[in-house]
Structures are given as C-alpha cells and as structure tokens.
Structure 1
Amino acid sequence: MASPLPPHPHTPAADMPDRLWFHLNDVAQLALHAVGTPYLALTAAQLIAFAPLVPALTWQSGPDGDALTSNGLPGWYDENGRQKVARAHAWRTQDTAARVTARRYGYLPLITADGDAQLFSQLIEVSRDKHWLSLDVTSHDPVINLDQVEVAEQHGGAYPSDVIWTEATVACVPHTGSGLYPALIADGYHNIHGGVLARFDASTVTRMILDLGRAYGSQPGARASLRWAGDRVEVFAEYLGGGSHTRHRCDVIGPDPEGLYPIGGHRWTWLPITSERR
C-alpha cells in the first residue's frame, strides 16, 4: 500500500523556516483539552507514526499554513463551528500557498504510554512566564520528540535572514488606532494575518506606547498596551469593563542586531501606507 506522504514528510522547502513558532498560550489551551477530555481520536499523524494512542497534539502543514490541534474527544470548536487550532506564526511570501502542495504531519505526545507527563507539565508551568513554543520540523521522524521542542520569551524567527528591507509608513488600526509610524518592512513577505513584517526604532516605539495610552484611556473593552522593561518591550493584553481591569503579558520583544524592534511581530496586522525601497 502506497504511503500517503512523501519519504521525508518533515523536510521544509528551502525558503521556509526550519522551526515553527506557536504562541504558547494557544498551545497550552490545546494541551489542557487533550489531557482533560474523556476520549481520544485516531488521527492521520498518529497512524503514520505508528505511535500509541495517548493525549497528544497533532501538527499538520499545508498550503494554508501550519497548525496544531488536540486529539481529545469531544472535539473543541469555536462559535462558528471551526476546530480550535494553534496556528504557527511564520513569515510567508505571496506564492507560499501555491508552492506548498503536499501536506505534512507530526505527532506530539503530551503523555507517554507509560504515563510520563513531563512535556505536558512543562508546557503548563512555563506558559506563566514564557510566550512562544517552537518545533524543529527538519526531522524525518513523524513523532515529534521532546528534544525538538523549545520554549522562549520571544519569537526567534521573526523574519528571514536574507530579506530586503523597505522604508515605509505603517498603521495597525485594531491595535494602535489612527497612529502612523515609520518602519522598515520586509519586501515581499507577510505574516499569517496578511500584515507586513515591520521593525521600528526605539523612539518610534516610545511614541507608540504614548499613543496607545492616549487612544484608550479608561474606555472599556479589550486593548493592547506596551511598556519598556530595560531595553526590551513588554506587550500586554488588557480588558477593562464590568468594574474590573485585567492585564497579562503576552509577549516580550528585544532589539535585533540593528537595534530595531518588531513590535506586534507576527500577531498584529501592520499595513503599509507608503513605502520606498531602501
């Protein structure tokens, strides 16, 4: 019987990242679901791996990007009937979807067949102060092992190393309101939300922080906020309403080798208003 996958299902295309980055909070929620449900589903990833049926996350890659899902049953769906997933926050090009024609799979056991819950326990514990989980997807083994998993405070694959940078003025209305900011953007690349990959100097970041504070004030609802912590920027998700104010840190962004900051990284949708090749 022919294999449904090419011989090396985990080998990425030459111009694609060899590590995938997922927001750790998204992954932790899926892990809690997989471990907490009464039943487990057979998945293509598990069958391909010839692995035991245990609480696990399954990785699937295809033209629409990379995602992790829980194998717990009953399944987890949003209000629109779509399966809950943790999407990889990776850079893409305009023709990425056209070039990725084969689906790839991986199986990430959270608890081993003999009951060792080391990975699950670590994911839940570190999700309190770390923000990103990365997977090495260069292995030929369909089982994703613990040594392929890393956690970090900051996204480590924010943009490709050979990118050409373009000077631009950008806006991100859902997060920063009407503010317009000078930036360098990655020519020909975008994130999974369709926004450009943008970097800002420290003075622009400071203006952004002040603008966010003025834009929302005591207005109820969800919003993002930023603050300096040494030479790094902390990103917070806040909610004000019903007599309560909650805030939790969701990212940390340090300067790159040129001293610039990819504020919003792969999670915000920065759109160019004007641009000029550098």
Structure 2
Amino acid sequence: MHYPGPTHGTPPREFLQSVDLALLLVLMLRDSGTLTVTGCAEALGLAQSTVHRSLAMLVYRGFATRSESRTYLPGPALATSSLEPGAGSELISACSDHMRAIAAETGETCHLMMLSGVNSHFLYTVEGSHPVRVGSRRGQVMPANQNSGGLAMLAELSPGELRVLYPKLAEEEFAALRRRLHRIRSRGFALNNGMFEHDVSAVGARLHNDLGDTLGAMTVAVPTSRFRSVHAACAESLRTHVHSLNRRLESHTVPATAPKG
C-alpha cells in the first residue's frame, strides 16, 4: 500500500512500506505538531499496532517525543534550532547544580532554555523524583508565548521588540500579550497552565546579568493534574535559586553564539 502524502516522482521499484510509513509520520508530525496512535491509524487506515511500532522508532531516533498524555510531539531531530553548536554550554554549567537542587526540593522536573526569536530552545533538563513526572524536553523547540520560560523572557522586551517578533498580531491581541507580559514582569515569574501540552504546566523565571541582559530562563514543570496544589512551592523554590543564580551570573555576557532572532 502506498500511503497518501506529498511525493516526488514515481515510487521506487523496491518500495518499502515500513520506511514510507515512518517518513509519512515524520511529515505529519512536522505539519500538525502533535499525533496520536488512534488518530494516525484512522487517517491512514492501518492497525494501531503498526502505527505504534513506527512511532516508537521515531522516538528512539529523536524525531518524536512521547508526552505524558500519550500524544507524540516533534522531537529534537525535527527541531529547526537556530542555536549554534555549543550555545548555552556555559549557562548549563552555571545552572546545573541549582537545577538539581530545585528538582530535589520539589520532586518536579527543572528545564533550562534560551530564547531565539519567537521560540524557546530547551538546553538542559533535570527530571524530578515523582513516579509520575514531566520528562526531558532537552533539544526541543517550543513557541515562547506558550511556555513559562519563554513568557518570562518575552516579558523583558520593549513594545517595539515585541512587535518585531509578532508583526502579524492584531492590535487587540498584541495589547493582550503586552498586558500578560506586564503582569509576569510585575510578579517576577510566569505561569503556564497547560498551554502547549494540556497535561504539562510550569512556573518559569528569567536569568539575567548585572546589566539586565536576558541570558535564559529556568522552569519547574509539573503534571497539570497536581499543578494547582504545588505551584506555589515550586515558584518559591525557583525564585530562591534564580535570585542566587542571577548574582552568580552578574558578569556573564550574552554569548556571541546566542540567537539574534
């Protein structure tokens, strides 16, 4: 069976259905941003077990990530990261001890990220100790306005810088975004209650040097089912460590390899 989808030229003489299915799933994941075994099986007229095996291989090779709700998201191999190799390595080195401490204190997963244009690039993860926890997002790229770390970094941009990043937003939407970012800036941390992944919520805070330059952001990610009961404690742990980290990062400069948007 030749699965539907974009093709170029005639099928090869030795047509491999398993390879074709895997490639088609990659294209579907790239275009839709999320897949389920059931949805793919129905769309392609295949058994769920067949789709599951192919998606498992995509996870193995980094083209997909299986979320806590058993949906599949684009993996690091699909990320169109604009970060140059090695970008963020000094930040990881500076933050890793604090991230491990946050994960130990809260039992939840801690992420480190940088901003590139309208996207958050996940650099490093320390997973929490709870049996049900948020997994690693290392290498993934997500819209900055849909995760707490990205929002914490966007909150420090001027209206002009924001408009450059979001030129197509209608005035009403742009004003709403600015109001939201103003609240985040006043509060000192951002909240994400299942925005990008409905089963994952988080608190996030910006990392900066003594000049106020944004170096990145750290987040504490929690399964949405328990977020309401633990987010205050997670925010307190995050704020304490970020405060210490920002003193430690006082002399750091935005690296030359950092994204410019």
Q: How high is the TM-score relative to the length of structure 2?
A: 0.29
Q: Higher relative contact order by CA 8 Å / sep ≥ 6: 1 or 2?
A: 1
